[in-house]
Chains A and B, each alone.
Chain A
């Protein structure tokens, strides 16, 4: 009993001591600028240490939450790695097919434009590669960003072709990677503008879709980007037409590639 009373008295004494010292410090704080700064600095140091300790404790108890977030990210990364592994396997399988002796579908010959007409509705193109270089009649002339035209006649060193800016040239094109296939041809207006014809009227073709070569052709290689759609319009009240802005301006070309399909004659014979 006496011991408990002694502890109680000790606590009261300590509390009063702290109270008096605190009161003295408060008076000192307000009575002198130097002591004011000193006490403020001390107080800020203590507060900073307290905040740091509280943050450390909070960080310790939030580890579980952080672990859950990391586990989630780990799972996402695992899925991504699996996806890339599958892609790698697919690429390896394709490489095996290539090395199995299957011939490529097209041969490519680089060429330079020697002359090109752009002022009529039946424009032409002459390139500096002929039969010696392996160019044949019916080959197509392309760039990495579009179709330029079609080889019409071949000399030893030069070839004459019909430009895409020619009403007689039509390219099988596809809207998007797996969309509608339609004939693409020049509308005779600008050197960077063509149209897709015979679009079903019930289809809504949004502007901004990329147009590619379809691959359903013995002349044009598949998946060459041509341009982007600019919207659908109605012609003669019955035909849907999609305006396409080409990626390359045909009037400003200099270097092209001749794509030659070695199996073209076989395909033509089979289709007769």
Chain B
């Protein structure tokens, strides 16, 4: 039952992300995206290859249905999926996988979860902004855009995490 709920909420959140991409423009220097936390919240037993393929497909889906450029979100999300295992092992320990448990904010606490989310968001937005600017923005402009996007998106990601797994 928990599994079905997770899938339904996940799909709904993807649809909401597509809507946000199409209609929400915060600023030239801020992008709102909670896709990194969707990747973080995927089942721990998934291996990296499956995780990367899923991230690629998810990014393709979001790009396809939004006004963004095809391939941009996939490009940024695949590194998140690759590094997700390292972040989880570093932040929450190896026993998470062996206990067949799942990630949740309430289980591991806000600081650890927020730091893990922050790292993945930072990685996501570094790649995203770098590819999106295509060499047309100066370094400090790109850095500002990454910083603001991470600051805006991380709290939203934490909120999304509570929706996905409320326990």
* A interface residues, Cβ below 8 angstroms from B: 12-13, 16-17, 20-21, 23-32, 34-35, 37-38, 41
Contacts and interface: CB of A to CB of B under 8 A. Distances in A.
- Return the 8 tightest CB-CB contacts between A and B, nearest first: A27-B71, A28-B71, A38-B134, A24-B75, A31-B70, A24-B74, A24-B71, A32-B69
Interface string B66-85: 00011110110011001000
A20 B134 contact: no
Contact of B82 (A17, A25, A27): A17
Contacts of B52: 13, 16-17, 20
Contacts of A34: 134, 136
B49 interface: yes
B36 interface: no
13 contacts: A13-B82, A16-B52, A16-B53, A17-B52, A17-B82, A20-B52, A23-B56, A26-B71, A27-B63, A27-B71, A28-B72, A28-B131, A37-B134
Nearest to A14: B82
A26 B113 CA distance: 34
Interface in B139-166: none
Secondary structure of the B contact surface, majority rule? helix
Interface residues of B, number: 21
Interface in B73-122: 74-75, 78-79, 82
Contacts of A30: 70
A38 B135 contact: yes
B49 to A, nearest CB: 5
Interface residues of A: mostly helix, strand, loop or mixed?
helix
A37 B131 CA distance: 12
Given A13-B82, A16-B52, A31-B70, 16 more contacts: A13-B52, A16-B49, A17-B52, A17-B78, A17-B79, A20-B56, A21-B78, A23-B71, A24-B72, A24-B75, A25-B75, A28-B72, A34-B136, A35-B72, A38-B136, A41-B135
B133 to A, nearest CB: 9
A13 B135 contact: no
A29 B63 CA distance: 14
Nearest to A41: B135
A168 to B, nearest CB: 95
Given A13-B49, A16-B49, A35 B131 contact: yes
A13 B72 CA distance: 21
A2 to B, nearest CB: 16
Contacts of A26: 71
A46 to B, nearest CB: 14
Contacts of B48: 13
Contacts of A17: 52, 78-79, 82
Contacts of B63: 27
